[in-house]
Amino acid sequence: MSDNGAVLVVDGRDGLGQVLTDRAVTHGVERARRHGISAVAVRNSGHFGTAAYFTRKAAEQGCVAILVTNASPAMAPWGGREKRVGTNPWSVAAPGGRYGTVVMDIANTTVARGKIYHAKERGQPIPEGWAADADGVPTTDPRRAIEGLILPMAGHKGYAISFMFDVLAGVLTGSAFGGAVVGPYQPAGKSGVGHLLICVDIRAMADPAEFEQRMEALVEGTKATPAAPGVSEVFVPGEPETTARLIEDDRIAAVTLTGSNRAGAAVGSAAGRAAKKSVLELGGSDAFVVLDDADIEAAAAAAVKARFTNSGQSCVCAKRFIVDASVADAFTSAFVAGVQALRAGDPRERDTQVGPLARDDLRAAIQRQVDESVAAGARLLTGGKPLPGAGYFYQPTVLADTGPGMPAFDEETFGPLAAVAVAHGDEEAVRLANAGAYGLGLSVWTADAGRGIALARRITSGAAFINAVVASDPRLPFGGTKRSGYGRELAAAGVREFTNTRTYWVGT
């Protein structure tokens, strides 16, 4: 509809709300990076489902995000008895440092409408205080509640918030508002839902590292609040309370997770509180170390495979290539040539070597890591842009002159991005390899296996491969150190993680 740089207005033409809002996040983050703050209005959309999914995506890309929407009438104006205002959900999300994304997602009613429908399907009553019938009389019958009213949270305050969100998501965006919005539980047709997304690039207001430190202090201070009687823990918005309840169940003896660091923190802390065993296999930023006596052609060929397997979307992919200065030019030249020869395309075709990324936000994250690293002094040797066409393709990319302080070196790069760093001798190679926050795998390339093993002993990782690409093998233990997790999977060690050694003493 209109594009004013920081402000974009889109007509969804009654399309899928999930798809439209996902695109809104992409545009909102990109514009926030250029202007510091952005607003994306979507009119004539369908309902988007869970608001937190979208604000979390923006927060994971360095923004504070606010998303509001409107919905079909569910509550009466304060003092009225006829539905005029929707539940009008909203979400706010921000990066929380080591605590992951702090995110709030709520409707402005006492309960989400879907829970009432769920109770109706199961033939169960709803709690008192959730709803009223068509005459405004409180009810616990979900059928009468659906025909009647859902009560606002916090009384008149919840109604007022919902009313103003109809202004933002309905009136301002040019969408339907009030009684004109069509609900998702009604016959298919034009819903006329509106959304408004606001993204603030943290860098426009604060140093991102300082912001995350302040967020961590806020979370820590909040969680340190003494718990009330009968409460086991104080939560901050967005913490997976369901996960904690599941792990605390007496039927659960131990838990293992392969996933993100945020998920790992939630599972690990819940298991610790419940005094139960846990194994975490999390992210990785594996170092691929090339010493001065290595077979350069063999190392470069292996480096291409180690980095770009599965389009770089694997925790055990090599991501940081630390090369001795005496062979750096030769290795880099051979490595870049191998990367440029890779064929990107349909993963169903046999000759395809690089497929698409799983999601658009992963591609956006790679682009951010490339842009910020180049701005910090890295050199782009090849790639560096999305590939056109259908699918979330990204050019196989190599950055040179990287090091600590650059996203491509410090963060997990979950995509086709390789970071090359030059080391002046074995000591600096060890220092650079240990400079990362992760410690999953390590690959060392040298003509002297003994030298490779000696160097590997000085680098913290869960596995060390000499003249070979890091891989998992069911015959061998697999797991990480540092932010890559703890415990071991596979082989006998993996079995023992979920057994208890029991002592028997039989007197005579």
Catalytic residues: 281, 315
Q: HEC profile for 341-379?
A: CCCECCCCCCCCCECCECCHHHHHHHHHHHHHHHHCCCE
List Cβ neighbours of 353 (8 Å cut-off, separation of 6 or more). Answer: 308, 342, 343, 344
Q: HEC profile for 259-322?
A: CCHHHHHHHHHHHHHCCCEEEEECCCCEEEEECCCCCHHHHHHHHHHHHHHHHHCCCCCEEEEE
Three-state secondary structure call for residue 254:
strand
Alpha helix positions (H), 402-485: 407-410, 426-434, 449-456
Three-state secondary structure call for residue 50:
coil
- Say how many C-beta atoms besides its own lie within 10 A of residue 258's C-beta: 13
Task: Please identify which residue in the block is written with the tokens 């560096």.
Answer: 384
HSE, side-chain direction, 13 A CA sphere, residue 183: 17
Structure-block tokens of residue 473? 């093998």
Are the beta carbons of 83 and 145 closer than 8 angstroms?
no
Are the beta carbons of 398 and 336 closer than 8 angstroms?
yes
> Facing residues of 7 across strands?
39
